[in-house]
Amino acid sequence: MEFSEDADVRAKRWNGLTAVAKSPSAATLEALTRLAFRTKLQNMSGEASQLREQLAANGPPLGDEELALMAASALALVLKPMDTASAKAASLITGAACAGLRCLKQPMDLVGMAKNVQTHLAETSRRRPALEQQRLVSPQLDIQASLNALEEGNVATVRAAIDALASASLKALAAIASRQRQFESAVQGYVCVQDEELDILWWLQGERCLIFGVAFGDVPVDHRAIAFAVELAALTKVLPGPTALSSLLNRAGVDDTVQLTIPEAIQGIPKDWLARLVPDERATKVSVVTTPILEATRRRQEVDGEDTWIAAWSSVTGLDQATKLPALRLAESLYCELLQVSLG
């Protein structure tokens, strides 16, 4: 598959990419991710058809392979600014990759790009806001000319001077208000991060698993990846979470030498706290592509805890039910999925 050599077609394709990548909705990002990974569209077929038209941008129709490449390119553009939309896109991409269980066949390393975005945002979102004072720009008005006009009784000139003063004052006040809002937003975000870090620190120092009501060391080894990922995600307030995620999970007791399949991990946890992973109000955000571990949880709930869900889960997600993952990578993947449905 190759792009057309027609400059007009290439220009239309580029226009389509930039239009789709500008302020994408959650549904658009989900559909782009499914197209880029070439997974089943299921209930996203309508969004996919709309994206096919938007990306074509009145040019020749897109074939399936070109559509997959264009979707990946659009996601790459969304990741570039490293803003809120980038964080959401990165979460969907890493969720779809599922710790390497699902391969991405694209000319760019989209998963690596997503991880770089998450690392950058995890670091920058935790920096203290700048506290240095900024100079205010004083409004420039010809006061003397206005005073002379007042003495001369030139009403038109005086009125123009009053209008100019009012306009300059409004601009100065608007600038002050804008800076104040930006500062308040930055401080609120930083305080939120500080609260998050304090909560995680107390959780780690307390060394007690709230789900099982026992010390970290008393949690069964095969349950730790799920239990600790759930508890750590519940304490996280800002995407994409702390930079030291692996260290936190390892410190809590998630052993990287333990190997588990996703069905083993989900089927092994107690049935009575399955609902804690995905509360009913967030169930609609669970996706067979971008949150496959939570999809496994949902399907086990549907069959009242039995193991009959596994084959159907493997079929709809396209993931091998027998592939084992290190417990630490499994915990990291579940943690990211939980943040995706709660904060994304």
| pLDDT for 1 | 47
Rg, C-alpha atoms of the chain:
27
Return all residues near 188 (Cβ < 8 A) that are at least 6 apart: none
Q: Closest Cα to residue 203, out of 225, 226, 236?
A: 236
Task: Say how far apart CA 47 and CA 41 lie, in whole Å.
Answer: 9
| pLDDT for 137 | 65
Structure-token match 């100019």, residue found: 164
Task: Say how far apart CA 79 and CA 294 lie, in whole Å.
Answer: 24
Residue 41's CB is within 10 A of a number of other CB atoms, namely 15
- Give helix 155-206 / helix 221-235 axis angle, nearest 10°: 160
User: C-alpha distances in angstroms, 146 versus 143, 156, 160, 165, 170?
Assistant: 5, 10, 9, 10, 19
The tens-digit pLDDT sequence of the chain (344 residues) is 455 667 888 899 999 999 999 999 999 999 999 999 999 888 888 999 999 999 998 888 899 999 999 999 999 999 999 999 999 999 999 999 999 999 999 999 999 999 999 999 999 888 887 767 667 666 666 666 666 766 776 777 777 777 877 888 888 888 888 888 988 888 888 899 999 999 999 999 999 998 888 999 999 999 999 999 999 999 999 889 999 999 999 999 998 899 999 999 999 888 887 877 877 778 889 999 999 999 999 999 899 888 899 999 999 999 999 999 999 999 999 999 999 999 87
User: C-alpha distances in angstroms, 267 versus 104, 257, 271, 322?
Assistant: 27, 20, 8, 13
pTM: 0.85
Q: Token digits for 136?
A: 């205010």
For 113-158, the three-class secondary structure string (H helix, E strand, C coil) is HHHHHHHHHHHHCCCCCCCCCCCCCCCCCCHHHHHHHHHHCCHHHH
Task: Say how far apart CA 184 and CA 220 lie, in whole Å.
Answer: 44
Return all residues near 205 (Cβ < 8 A) that are at least 6 apart: none
Partner residues linked to 208 by β-bridges: 215
Task: Say how far apart CA 283 and CA 258 lie, in whole Å.
Answer: 29
User: Where does residue 115 rank: exposed (0-12), middle (13-18), buried (19+ CB within 10 A)?
Assistant: middle
| pLDDT for 239 | 86
- C-alpha count within 13 angstroms, C-beta hemisphere, residue 191: 6
| pLDDT for 318 | 94
Q: Closest Cα to residue 250, out of 321, 129, 171, 331?
A: 331
